[in-house]
Structure 1
Amino acid sequence: MLLKTFGWSFAITAAGLALAGVLWGWQGLAVVAILSVLEISLSFDNAVINAGILRKMNPFWQKMFLTLGILIAVFGMRLVFPVVIVAITAKLGPIEAVKVALQDHERYESLVTSAHPAIAAFGGMFLLMIFLDFIFEDRDIRWLEWLEKPLARLGKLDTLSIVVSLVVLLVAATTFATAVPVHGGEGTVDKASTVLLAGIGGLVTYLIVGGVSGFFEDRLEEAEDDDEEEGAQSPAKKSGNGAIVGLAGKAAFFMFLYLEVIDASFSFDGVIGAFAITNDIFEMALGLGIGAMYIRSLTVFLVRKGTLDDYVYLEHGAHYAIGALAVILLVTIKYEINEVITGLIGVVLIGLAFWSSVVRNRRALASGDGSGSKAEVSSGV
């Protein structure tokens, strides 16, 4: 099971490190290895979130996530996306932007860093919406009962997460974005309008991709419920089954897009943080790509092992980590926060959620019914 799931990750790691050693020597090999560890530590909570979505998809789309998805993650988000950002923010042509990335590493780093406020605002708002929609939803299983129960009551207001997000964006734009330090320490610049525009873009992207995938998922569940009620097979029902397959395909497609946008949002801080280690675009792409491969393999592993069903608070911990990352991204518009802190916050929150799940499972076993009492199931703390 372990080798089957992580086999490609192990192989790509070996090939990637060997390539780094050949191209850049021992120093390049060390840089790529460090970047891989950085990506894994920063995106561990991403794997848990992805697993919660991926387990709803069939094996075909799970395979797409590991094949086409990894190509998008490595070449799209870690290699092409930073160059596109440079081209847009610096108003350079595509060819010139590529030349800067390949030949002028210091200028490339400066341009990407200067685009960080827009990147942070977009990714921060997208991740914040994921967290708020989770925390405002009324669910049977709660981790922090004292917090999640009252928030679920507030969540009955359908647009509350949007309102909160817009308020947070307005605060970020009028505080962190008004005097952003220029890369190199030469004064400050006002990025308020840029942050507002990028943040609204992140919010709109979430509403479109998440809304469409949710719509098809709801339609699929309704169609399946109707199909079960019809009883015995009939020609009409066979036609209905065809419609269900079609809905499943559409739902899975938009869920796949949703997963890719989530991965993009998580990759922003990794790409920016990588400049603290190297400004060579190929070293970054190789190191972060290896890390991204492990995150995807870990996602599939969690799905196949049923880990989220066994440790029910893991999703809660991952969503709290997402909320923390969203806030950190917005704060980094003005202030620099060490990537170690960002990674540790996610690991600690997921670790606490895992331990709470273990305690819950032990109580359930002690009760003798395998499920635990209502109080034990609904609250972890």
Structure 2
Amino acid sequence: MNRRLLRYLAFPLVMCGFGLAAILGFQGLEAAWLTLVLLLLEVSLSFDNAVVNARVLDRLTPGQQSFFLTWGLVIPVFGVRFLGPLLMVAIAGQVGLGEALDAALRHPNEYRKLLEIAEPRILAFGGMFLLMVFFHYFFDDAKTLHWWQALERRLSAAGRIEALEVAIALIILVALVFVAPVGLRGDLMVSGVLGVVLQLLTTSLADGFDSGPQMAVRSGIASLIYLELLDASFSLDGTIGAFAITDNIGLIMVGLGLGALFIRSLTLMLSRERALDHLIYLEHGAHYAIGALGLVMLAGIPLAAHHIHVPEWLTGLIGVLLLAIALWDSLRQRRASS
């Protein structure tokens, strides 16, 4: 069993060794160390993403799964970690895309300043999207398996109230806008509402299609879009936090890209080994970690206005601890039932 599970990690381990060796050879020991730190940052922030991805991946056709696990890697690595912030920087900094690209490649300090301008809008979008993922999972009156019984039974019962999760999300967004600096309020409202709408749209399309071959394909496409948006939301915080470690765009892309490769392999392992069917609380822990990450991203906006920054290692540690507790309880439950 252990040897079979290790096969899933063989490719990312080889690529990690190759990538770190290349960085070491061309840019030296310090650059290789920074790349390794970025890799670990990405894995710690996105491990819970792999758990949720594995469950959604089960809904896709083999062809769609193959696309997500291969070409789907290009979208979060180059689209989210490079082109996405580049576009946001251009819009928020009111500069052309070419000027933003030039700053990213040739003037990293200037690009970092532009990214700081765009950061609140990025965090508002990603935070609201992830918060809606958390609400969608727990505000479900059909949910029968509960981990933290006292809390989850109440959340599940509250799911009978139509659109309750949307109302709570919008209340949180309004509160965030109220405490944010005046000049940011309009942009934060637009970014936050966009995150809510996209989460609702993708999950509604995936859930709403009927069973049938043609409908299954459409549902799979909606799920595929949802996976990429979920990946994007997880990656936004890590991409911004990476600039606290280094302003070298090349190192950031290599480190976070290698980390994303590990997440893809973990997603594949969890899906194909049906691990979530045996580790019954792992999905719960992942969604608690998602909710925590969403709240931290949103809280980072008013905190940044007071020059307070929540370190990325702390965010990652919260997620890892929640998953570790869920894993422990899952294993204990499995031993008790066997």
Band the TM-score falls in, shorter-chain normalisation: over 0.9
Which shifted more, 82-91 or 339-348? 82-91
Aligned to 1:360: 333
The equivalent residue for 2:306 is none
1:259 is matched by which residue type in structure 2?
A: L
1:159-178 deviations in Å (ceiling 9; x for gaps): 10000000000111111x22
Aligned to 1:28: 31
Q: How far 1:148 sits from its partner (Å)?
A: 1.0
Rounded Cα–Cα distance in structure 2 between residues aligned with 1:271 and 1:90: 18
SS of 2:28's partner is helix
Instruction: Report the equivalent of 2:241.
Output: 273
Could you say which residue in structure 1 is the equivalent of 2:322? 349
Look up the equivalent residue of 2:332 and give its one-letter code. Answer: V
| One-letter identity of the residue aligned with 2:238 | G
Offset at residue 149 of structure 1 (A): 0.9
RMSD across aligned C-alpha pairs, in angstroms?
1.3
The answer (yes or no) to whether the contact 2:130–2:233 under 8 Å persists in 1 is: yes
What does residue range 1-381 of structure 1 map to in structure 2 within 5 Å?
1-138=4-141, 139-175=143-179, 177-178=180-181, 190-216=183-209, 219-220=210-211, 244-335=212-303, 336-365=309-338
Which structure 2 segments of 5+ residues have no match?
Answer: 304-308
- If you compute each CA radius of gyration, which structure gives the higher value, 1 or 2? 1
Question: Percent identity at matched positions?
Answer: 40
Distance 1:342 1:321 in 2: 9
How much has 1:147 moved relative to structure 2? 0.7
- Provide, for residues 49-90 of structure 1, a one-character-per-residue CA deviation record: whole Å limited to 9, x for no partner: 111111222332222111111111111111211211111111
CA distance in 2, matches of 1:8, 1:80: 26
In the TM superposition, what is the alpha-carbon distance from 1:47 to its structure 2 partner? 0.6
State the 1:23 CA deviation: 3.2
For residues 209-237 of structure 1, the C-alpha deviation after alignment (integer angstroms, 9 at most, x for no partner) is 22112222xx01xxxxxxxxxxxxxxxxx
Can you give the 5+ residue segments of structure 1 that lack an aligned partner in the other structure?
179-188, 221-243, 366-381
Give yes or no for contact 1:86–1:97 (8 Å, CA) kept in 2: yes
**Aligned-partner residue type, residue 29 of structure 1:** A
Alpha-carbon distance between aligned partners in 1 of 2:22 and 2:65, rounded to the nearest angstrom: 28
Separation in 1, partners of 2:6, 2:275: 17
Is contact 1:273-1:339 (8 Å) kept?
yes
Deviates more, 1:73-82 or 1:116-125: 73-82
Kept after mapping to 2: 8 A contact 1:16/1:286: yes
1:302 and 1:308 in contact (8 A); partners too = yes
Give, in whole Å, the separation in 2 of the partners of 1:59 and 1:206.
24
Measured in 1, the distance between the counterparts of 2:83 and 2:17 equals 23
Name the amino acid aligned to 2:95: L
Deviation at 1:2, TM superposition (A): 3.3
Any conservation in 2 of the 1:105–1:279 contact (CA below 8 Å)? yes
- In structure 1, give the amino acid aligned to 2:335: R
Query: Offset of 1:334 from its aligned partner?
Result: 2.5
Counterpart Cα distance in 2 of 1:310 and 1:21: 41
Q: Which residue identity lines up with residue 318 of structure 1 in the other structure?
A: A
The separation in 2 between residues aligned to 1:190 and 1:348, in whole angstroms, is 37
Give, in whole Å, the separation in 1 of the partners of 2:15 and 2:84: 22
Provide the rounded CA distance (Å) in 1 between the counterparts of 2:22 and 2:206: 39
- Cα deviation for residue 3 of structure 1 reads 4.8
TM-score normalised to structure 2 length? 0.94
Contact 2:50 2:264 in 1 (8 A): yes
Letter in 2 for 1:7: A
Contact kept, 8 Å, 2:59 with 2:223, in 1: the verdict is no
Mapped to 2, the partners of 1:264 and 1:137 lie a distance apart of 24
Higher helix share: 2
Which range moved further: 9-18 or 291-300? 9-18
